[in-house]
Structure 1
Amino acid sequence: MEIFYIPLNADAKHGWTIPIPRDGEKQFATRLEALAFARKLAQEESSIKRENNYLCVEGGDRRWRLFTADLMPVAE
């Protein structure tokens, strides 16, 4: 299982960075680009490994929320 974290604010030097399993990381200029990439990667990894992967997204209220790769919220 992989969990991809998307913070509310970018790192001052690198923007939004998404770790890529077995292949380093990728940097993005916008949060939307990072989220779209993480979603696609989570879906691909799910189909390869036959297990669920998730996105953990920080909201404007600073709370982290867990979503499936299809962007469905995971019940708390």
Structure 2
Amino acid sequence: MRGDGIHHGDLLVVDRSLEPRPGRVVIVALEGELTVKRLEQRETGPCLVASHPGFPPIPLAGRDCRVWGVVTHVVHALPGAR
């Protein structure tokens, strides 16, 4: 999700009270795994989209998934701090 400013090791602030609308970055429990992607509405139904174009969209119809919350902020570590 580097295209959305999210890098490996970042801390994400998640608001579980916000509605997961298309265009928002969300954390989703998908088939037992947590993933961070942008929620989009397509003709075929809702899907998760990575910011990197090399990853295909993940359709949500018929899958075991639950939106856990909406990402509102990202916290980066300063270089050399880890």
TM range (shorter): under 0.3
Between Structure 1 and Structure 2, which shows a larger proportion of helix residues?
1
Between Structure 1 and Structure 2, which shows a larger proportion of strand residues?
2
Q: Could you tell me the TM-score, scaled by structure 1's length?
A: 0.26
- Of the two structures, which has the highest relative contact order with CA contacts closer than 8 Å and spacing of 6 or more? 2
Which of structures 1 and 2 has the bigger CA Rg?
Answer: 2
Q: Could you tell me the TM-score, scaled by structure 2's length?
A: 0.25
